[in-house]
A = this chain, B = another copy of it.
């Protein structure tokens, strides 16, 4: 019983691919346009919903919530809600999420490097 638990984006082919390619496993969790951006924003510490919205102005509320829910379902992000009026909800990286930070930094390095190389053709 070494089954990989289902990600937020469930699909039989994806599951198969994940087993054969761990990179796909990662992609299913932090892929898409928004999830990695959100993680990036949370690296500096917990943020409220409205802070995230302000930090990522181009995202729609639908996508922000949807992405946050997926990240929460995949246990990369922790949602903590204070039941008060007005509501006070903060999102933060879980342990798994924090373990992604070196990866993000490596990606960022490669991106900078590659974009510079590509510019000068």
Contact = CB atoms under 8 A, between A and B. Distances in A.
Interface of A: 1-5, 13-14, 16-18, 20-27, 29, 31-33, 36-37, 39-40, 58, 75, 96, 99-100, 102-104, 106-108, 110-115, 117-119, 121
Contact of A2 (B23, B37, B119): B119
Question: How many copies of this kind of chain does the complex include?
Answer: 2
Nearest to A100: B110
Contacts of A33: 13-14, 17, 24, 27
Given A31-B31, A103-B110, A106-B106, A40 B23 contact: yes
B113 A99 contact: yes
8 contacts: A3-B119, A5-B118, A22-B107, A24-B33, A25-B111, A25-B114, A25-B115, A96-B114
